[in-house]
Structure 1
Amino acid sequence: MLMIVNAQGASAPRTYVDRILEHWYEDESAEALVQGAQRLTRGEARRRLFRLGHALRGQGLAPGDGVGLFLANRVDSVLVQLAVHLIGCRVVFLPPEPGPGELAALVEQSRARAVVTDPLFARRAADAAGSSVHAPVLLSLGPCEEPSADLLALAADCPAERPEGVPAPAADEAVTVLYTGGTLGRPKLAAHSHRLYDTLVGLFDEAQQDSGSAFFPAMDPATDRVLVATLLTHGSGHLTSLQALVTGSVLVVLPEFEAGAALAALRAERITTTMFVPPMLYALLDHPECVPGALPALRRIVVGGAASSPSRLRQTAEVFGPVISQGYGQSEALGIAAFGAEELASEGARRPELWRSCGRAISGTEIEIRAEDGTAALPVRQVGEVCVRGKPVMLGYYEDPERTAEALHDDGWLRTGDLGYLDAEGYLYLVDRAKDIIVTGSTSDNVYSRVLEDFLLTLPGVRNAAALGVPDEEYGEAVQIFLATAEGADVVPEAVGAAVTAELGELYRPRKTVLLDELPTTKVGKVDKKALRAAWTSGAMGTP
């Protein structure tokens, strides 16, 4: 926990929220939060934050209680998340992907005492809260038809002064819980303490001192404007908003991603920094208005959340210049490896293969590649499971000691479930998720979907690609690819198969190539391979 010394010389806890408020007490008329026509100054944002904190307390919430946030991208969603931490409660991010059963299990397992929902999600939130034995209070960000209290209306009648009497959380107390997916009825909830926020604030401060090599760019509150386009309740959106707020920069919220709307917001709001997951970046690049010089204010695009295509990253540099940064993390460890824009531009010119890397370990983090049993470290360039140790690593899975023991070793190493290798200079290369490997061929060899997808994205007319393993009587699994093609492009499946075989070998030859206008994506913006597999096996895309 960061510390601050008061007027009497005594030490008191200083959280990331305190860092944000330091900016919001200065130059109160400066912009702080923007969403379309809604524009809050620093003073307005601070007062609304305090009122929300009092309103949450008025619902009987006490320090340590869990508060589920089932929210869309909007300014008030940012403030509610801050308000939960302000009064010492635990943030539980509820993503929009799970079905009713899994959402209810998530609310139940997280022990949420309240659920704050966007009116758009109110029916689903009410069903999930109603099935929990903890009987959480249902609150909505605005009026809705479901039986819930309007948190914004309650806050309007509350004091605009900071709530007092909030104890400091213990070092090992979970203050934020991130959903990581899981089997139906048994979600995985990565729990983090304030150590994560102290670490992130330290990384933001490092960036201010050494912007040339940092993954996070140096920020100037007077000029920087950050667009959050990914979900605020996902790690990527949470990180993006945190850096803007902690550094005093303006945060612009994009309610829902669409390439044209994103371009318009980037241009109109003079955005200097943003973050996209790969499908978002690809859609932006494919938009007809995305041309060199279209966004003169843009200094940094961070790409993360899923594997990125090297050819698409080079295309980004061609269109926007040396602005692209890569990051690798997951809900269990929000920061693992990173590649700063300046480093990627200079080192990528010297060693083109580095465009396939996601950078080196961030400050204070260790990376090892380990064998299947998770204990023996492997030599340079040998593929194994990526394991990480450091301050960004979670405390464990909330209320789930069994799966915590599977993921976290006694020596503090986290098994990420990702496969990759390190080169001699410490650059990390990811080749697949362990669960996405396609085991095929007469010798049951591994086909790495990331390697195949990267190559497919270099082919003319291919905008996005996904590779799956489908059942095969002879080999157990066979390679199948799904391609999103550009309008008017003449992509011939047989030619694609021949090109794959010529480049990657017979093992990678696809049994079938399916051409689509778009690939399905999750609410977070990643390619939804589960949906692809389900649609194919059900016959919705033709004969399996």
Structure 2
Amino acid sequence: MIVNAQQTSEPRTYLDRILEHWYKDEDAEALVQGAQRLTRGEARRRLFELGHALRGQGLAPGDGVGLFLANRVDSVLVQLAVHLIGCRVVFLPPEPGPGELAALVEQSRARAVVTDPLFAGRAADAAGRSIHTPALLSLGPCEQQCTDLLALAAECPDTRPEGVPAPGADEAVTVLYTGGTLGRPKLASHSHRLYNMLVDLVEDVPKYSGSAFFPTMDQGTDRVLAATLLTHGSGHLTSLQALVTGSTLVVLPEFEAGAALTVLREERITATMFVPPMLYAVLDHPECEPGALPELRRIVVGGAATSPSRLQQAVEVFGPVVSQGYGQSEALGITAFGAEDLASEGAGRPELWRSCGRAISDVEIEIRGEDSTAALPVRQVGEVCVRGETVMLGYYEDPERTAAALQDGWLRTGDMGYLDAEGYLYLVDRAKDIIVTGRTSDNVYSRVLEDFLLTLPGVRNAAALGVPDEEYGEAVQIFLATAEGGPDVDPEAVGAAVTGELGELYTPRRTVLLDQLPTTKVGKVDKKALRTAWASGSLDTP
């Protein structure tokens, strides 16, 4: 008999869907992290205990709860517990410095902050700077003055908390950090519309079949690896997609290519999501060979632009299981290119390897010029504008920047790209990363240049930046991470190859060789850190 499951005529939430699975086959594995393995019954009971523990701290429906968490099983359950009691999830990722982290806590109006013990010092500093001084809770004991949430939960009932009102249609239930200037972070807020799409995933499979962001999963048989940060949109969606289908979710505490390969193999992972630098690191690992991961059926690549040559390499190594998607914190799903379509269509049309796919269901895309509401013609580069169910409500407590980003329901993404006649989207740059150079001040698109650089022997990763130049305003400068044990990379030969392929406008003024490029906690190349390190002279060259 199913106890405490949703029995009303109200639409099922994503949590109801997860709990339907967790009330069945209670001894089946639900959550795994190394030696920690929770069955469905254990996960359900711990979820309810955490919900009661959070309520015991005075949290009420609609309150914001900041989550400053590492990748671990309890982090997944705490996020679910915040929604379970009707509160707003505020993800606090590791990237921001102390000032911006404190501003994020303050601007998001978080009444409590739940921190991993590893981050407790930074969390306490941020909470202490906040005017309203949120309660500080930790997932286990720590040296700071935090209340141990896990200890509280162990003393709480393991039944579902009652009396939780349904959120309003336009109520912010999840807030994602998207970066910003010091003291003024951008917080993309989303309603339950986003999560309703997760329920549609299992209730209307044909609508989303083949989508990279909403991949079809086999009910209860998949084993999904969360390798990206759970407090980032990619890790958040990966974990929830697994749970709403009754799949086992395996959490990777910290990414390292060898460790990831071990977990993929030993846990018989069938599906995962990587950002491009993660994929590249796995492909470059000596243990990554064709046939090494026979259980793997789906790899979603997203979060940043992917090199076409690396994407083809992944298909050659893993088979036709690689799909690509495009989204951002402001719109968590925009386009997708399913694995089978990518492999088959890409074989006949090489240019499609540069595409990030077509609009997913319920999303529209237009390419617009600067200060224009009219769509540009096919293959003309402009700003990518989107509208649909995955688009944010706005920037939380920031009407000015919301008005600038959302116009008549259309989100201006800040990404530059074009559409072909069949609706495939091709990204060429972030608007702020375009390098304006040359005698005629033409645009150099860093994505185009970086994609080409990654085809050169010995180049493992690449980044292109515009640096100040007296003659042209900006000059192209490239940074290359070289492959260990690979062929030597000659900067002059690289420059000649770029000129021969892309023209003199793209010719780098200087080529810098590095052991590795700096990356954010999410795994993207950190161009801001790269620019700062270069300007300060602190980069270590091989």
2:91 to 90, 93, 97: 93
Aligned residue type for 1:388:
V
Paired residue secondary structure (1:537): helix
Q: Which residue is 1:394 aligned to?
A: 392
Match status 1:11 vs 2:9: yes
Task: Rate the CA distance shift 1:541–1:212 in 2: closer, same or farther, 3 A.
Answer: closer
Q: Which residue is 2:439 aligned to?
A: 442
Say if 1:207 and 1:216, in contact at 8 Å, map to a contact too.
no
| Residue 223 (structure 1) shift | 2.4
Task: Rate the CA distance shift 1:317–1:382 in 2: closer, same or farther, 3 A.
Answer: same
Q: Which residue is 2:417 aligned to?
A: 420
Q: Following the alignment from structure 2 to structure 1, what is the Cα–Cα distance between the partners of residues 164 and 227?
A: 32
Task: Rate the CA distance shift 1:208–1:296 in 2: closer, same or farther, 3 A.
Answer: farther
Say if 1:204 and 1:243, in contact at 8 Å, map to a contact too.
no
Say if 2:367 and 2:383, in contact at 8 Å, map to a contact too.
yes
| Residue 218 (structure 1) shift | 2.2
1:77 to 58, 65, 75: 75
Q: Following the alignment from structure 2 to structure 1, what is the Cα–Cα distance between the partners of residues 220 and 201?
A: 20
Task: Rate the CA distance shift 1:180–1:283 in 2: closer, same or farther, 3 A.
Answer: same
Match status 1:459 vs 2:465: no
Aligned residue type for 1:461:
G
Aligned residue type for 1:26:
K
| Residue 206 (structure 1) shift | 4.2
1:25 to 23, 28, 44: 23
Q: Following the alignment from structure 1 to structure 2, what is the Cα–Cα distance between the partners of residues 196 and 291?
A: 37
Write out per-residue CA displacement over residues 251-281 of structure 1, whole angstroms, 9 at most, x where no aligned residue.
0000000000000000000000000000000
Q: Following the alignment from structure 1 to structure 2, what is the Cα–Cα distance between the partners of residues 213 and 44?
A: 32
Residue identity (%)? 86
Give matches, 1:328-347, under 5 Å. 328-347=326-345
Q: Which residue is 2:517 aligned to?
A: 519
Q: Following the alignment from structure 1 to structure 2, what is the Cα–Cα distance between the partners of residues 6 and 97?
A: 38
| Residue 14 (structure 1) shift | 2.2
Write out per-residue CA displacement over residues 139-165 of structure 1, whole angstroms, 9 at most, x where no aligned residue.
000000100100000000000000000
| Residue 96 (structure 1) shift | 0.2
Q: Following the alignment from structure 2 to structure 1, what is the Cα–Cα distance between the partners of residues 211 and 526?
A: 33
Say if 2:26 and 2:41, in contact at 8 Å, map to a contact too.
yes
1:163 to 161, 164, 171: 161
Q: Following the alignment from structure 1 to structure 2, what is the Cα–Cα distance between the partners of residues 343 and 538?
A: 46
| Residue 209 (structure 1) shift | 7.2
Give matches, 1:155-234, under 5 Å. 155-207=153-205, 211-212=209-210, 216-234=214-232
Q: Which residue is 1:260 aligned to?
A: 258
Task: Rate the CA distance shift 1:172–1:510 in 2: closer, same or farther, 3 A.
Answer: same
Write out per-residue CA displacement over residues 155-199 of structure 1, whole angstroms, 9 at most, x where no aligned residue.
000000000000011111100000000000000000001011112
Aligned residue type for 1:24:
W
Q: Alignment RMSD, CA only? A: 1.5
Q: Which residue is 1:306 aligned to?
A: 304
Q: Which residue is 1:510 aligned to?
A: 508
Aligned residue type for 1:378:
L
Give matches, 1:263-302, under 5 Å. 263-302=261-300
Say if 1:208 and 1:217, in contact at 8 Å, map to a contact too.
no
Q: Following the alignment from structure 1 to structure 2, what is the Cα–Cα distance between the partners of residues 464 and 206?
A: 39
Paired residue secondary structure (2:10): strand
| Residue 346 (structure 1) shift | 1.4
| Residue 482 (structure 1) shift | 0.4
Q: Following the alignment from structure 2 to structure 1, what is the Cα–Cα distance between the partners of residues 206 and 104?
A: 38
| Residue 212 (structure 1) shift | 4.9
Aligned residue type for 1:470:
V
Q: Which residue is 1:49 aligned to?
A: 47
Say if 1:284 and 1:290, in contact at 8 Å, map to a contact too.
yes
| Residue 541 (structure 1) shift | 3.0
Paired residue secondary structure (2:214): coil
Deviates more, 1:92-101 or 1:221-230: 221-230
Q: Which residue is 1:245 aligned to?
A: 243
Aligned residue type for 2:261:
L
Write out per-residue CA displacement over residues 364-413 of structure 1, whole angstroms, 9 at most, x where no aligned residue.
1000000111412100000000000101100000000000000000x200
Aligned residue type for 1:532:
L
Match status 1:235 vs 2:227: no
Say if 1:88 and 1:166, in contact at 8 Å, map to a contact too.
yes
| Residue 15 (structure 1) shift | 1.1
Task: Rate the CA distance shift 1:6–1:312 in 2: closer, same or farther, 3 A.
Answer: closer
Any gaps of 5 or more consecutive residues in structure 1?
none
Q: Following the alignment from structure 2 to structure 1, what is the Cα–Cα distance between the partners of residues 348 and 188?
A: 38
Q: Following the alignment from structure 1 to structure 2, what is the Cα–Cα distance between the partners of residues 535 and 366?
A: 39
Q: Which residue is 1:482 aligned to?
A: 479
Write out per-residue CA displacement over residues 510-538 of structure 1, whole angstroms, 9 at most, x where no aligned residue.
01101011111000000010111001001
Q: Following the alignment from structure 1 to structure 2, what is the Cα–Cα distance between the partners of residues 509 and 143?
A: 55
Q: Following the alignment from structure 1 to structure 2, what is the Cα–Cα distance between the partners of residues 431 and 6?
A: 46
Q: Which residue is 1:129 aligned to?
A: 127
Q: Following the alignment from structure 2 to structure 1, what is the Cα–Cα distance between the partners of residues 35 and 138?
A: 21
| Residue 6 (structure 1) shift | 7.0
Q: Which residue is 1:111 aligned to?
A: 109
**Number of aligned pairs?**
537
Q: Which residue is 2:466 aligned to?
A: 469
Q: Following the alignment from structure 1 to structure 2, what is the Cα–Cα distance between the partners of residues 176 and 251?
A: 21
Any gaps of 5 or more consecutive residues in structure 2?
none
Task: Rate the CA distance shift 1:214–1:500 in 2: closer, same or farther, 3 A.
Answer: closer
Task: Rate the CA distance shift 1:432–1:26 in 2: closer, same or farther, 3 A.
Answer: same
Say if 1:500 and 1:508, in contact at 8 Å, map to a contact too.
yes
Q: Following the alignment from structure 1 to structure 2, what is the Cα–Cα distance between the partners of residues 203 and 105?
A: 36
Aligned residue type for 1:264:
T
| Residue 203 (structure 1) shift | 3.7
Q: Which residue is 1:532 aligned to?
A: 530
TM-score of the superposition, structure 2-length normalised? 0.97
| Residue 345 (structure 1) shift | 1.1
Q: Following the alignment from structure 1 to structure 2, what is the Cα–Cα distance between the partners of residues 184 and 531?
A: 15
